[in-house]
Amino acid sequence: MDTIMEKKQVFDFDSPVERRATASLKWDKYKNRDVIPLWVADMDFQAPPAVIKALQQRAAYGVFGYTIAPQELNEVVVVMLKNLYGWEIESEWLVWLPGLVTGLNVVCRALGEEGDDVMTTVPVYPPFLAAPKHFRRNLIKVPLIEKNNRWQFDFDRLEQSITANTRVFLLCNPHNPVGRVYTRNELETLAAICKKHDIVICSDEIHCGLILDKDKPHIPTASLDPETAKRTITLMAASKTFNLPGLGCAFAVIDEKNLRRKIKEAMAGIVPMVNALGYTASRVAFEDCSDWHEALLDYLRGNRDTVQVAINRMPYLSMAPVEATYLAWIDMRAAEIKHPTAFFEDAGVGLQNGIEFDGPGFVRLNFGCPRSLLEKALQRMAAAMEDRFM
């Protein structure tokens, strides 16, 4: 009876958490300036209470020796992927990493030779653009197209752009910055093209826990079919969903043995071990924080709708619906403002310039913050646009 009557815990996403003078990358950029920072992708929320408690207990233990991924954590991930996506993996397929950006770089280092091609779609999260170049790979960029107010692959152009030297496709799903959750059909088409041209798919799924549209399930690329699983390296983490990016803990799932070996070889001596606190936090986040996660998604849906309504009202700005992530990709091309980020910084809002994502004329807005702060920022943006255009 007690359990049935048990009330759902209430989580507070409304009360602002002071992040000034806490060594926050996001907030320190505008130190001593009245600019609301809505740029780099972390949220202005505390981590789930269960995670904070587990970290306190781990810290109280006081020994911080070299730590490998606990087998229990591997098992938690195996069970989680099965329960959430019906995706059956084995714990040996897991390779723990201090971050997904490390994963993207290791993949570019491990596969092919100098001068080979790596393909991705643009706009995209900037490390996708930088990683191939770090290892003297050539980057082939295929633009996503906006059709019917939805960002989509241009599969014809994508396939035509493939060369005999294209070894890797870097996929972002859900997509940062356009907020798409790719459908099974889209993923199957992409996987078929990669199969035909013998291309390895590196599928960055860091945002998979941030699906806002309830009717659009996340489908891990590797879960499509066994053949696709063999050519896919999946990158995941608790970090975005549970707001733990500063703890540096992520993992790759690599089914195919040779691919796994190549990745481990490319990591050797360069990629450090994951820190002990990252493992502790990830395990608790995956195992014990589903109520917090559900409450977070509800809150983010409200923020997403607030942003969409506000942007629709601003002259010359538009955005396609955000299906996942806490990031809005705002089209400012019609406004013809030469320096969009400086324009909004002058108005007191810090956004990220689309140029960094290979999307000139756009800005990215991070709505992972208390609604009152978001509303204040949107009011500042609206006032600046009205001043300029009305």
Ligand X SMILES: Cc1ncc(COP(=O)(O)O)c(C=O)c1O
> Phi then psi for 14, rounded to 5 degrees?
-85, -35
The one-character DSSP state at 238 is S
- Regarding 253 and contact with ligand X (CB under 6 A), the answer is no
- Regarding 323 and contact with ligand X (CB under 6 A), the answer is no
Length of the chain: 390
- Regarding 276 and contact with ligand X (CB under 6 A), the answer is no
CB 249 within 8 A of CB 274: yes
CB 368 within 8 A of CB 331: no
- Regarding 286 and contact with ligand X (CB under 6 A), the answer is no
Q: Which residue has the tokens 């229990």?
A: 72
The one-character DSSP state at 324 is B
Q: 10 Å Cβ neighbour count for 33?
A: 10
| Helix ranges (DSSP H) in 238-320 | 257-267, 276-288, 290-313
- Regarding 368 and contact with ligand X (CB under 6 A), the answer is no
Q: Which of 203, 239, 282, 341 binds ligand X (CB under 6 A)?
A: 239
Nearer to ligand X, 23 or 390 (CB): 23
- Minimum Å distance from CB 362 to ligand X? 16
CB 193 within 8 A of CB 162: yes
- Minimum Å distance from CB 356 to ligand X? 12
Quote the CA–CA distance of 271 and 333 in Å, as a whole number.
Answer: 40
Q: Report the residue number whose CB is nearest to ligand X.
A: 99
Which residues are 171's β-sheet partners? 203
> Phi then psi for 171, rounded to 5 degrees?
-110, 140
Residues 180-219, mask of contacts with ligand X (x by CB under 6 A)? ------------------------x-x-------------
Nearer to ligand X, 100 or 277 (CB): 100
CB 149 within 8 A of CB 323: no
Q: Which of 172, 212, 317, 351 binds ligand X (CB under 6 A)?
A: 172
CB half-sphere exposure, 20, CA atoms < 13 A: 8
Q: Classify residue 309 as left (phi > 0), alpha (psi -120 to 50) or beta.
A: alpha
Give the binding range for ligand X (CB under 6 A) out of 44-52, 95-103, 267-275, 298-306. Answer: 95-103
- Regarding 125 and contact with ligand X (CB under 6 A), the answer is yes
Nearer to ligand X, 105 or 385 (CB): 105
Residues 21-60, mask of contacts with ligand X (x by CB under 6 A)? --------------------x-------------------
- Minimum Å distance from CB 109 to ligand X? 15
- Minimum Å distance from CB 80 to ligand X? 18
- Regarding 300 and contact with ligand X (CB under 6 A), the answer is no
Q: Can you give the binding site for ligand X, defined by CB under 6 A?
A: 41, 99-101, 125, 172, 176, 204, 206, 237, 239, 245, 250
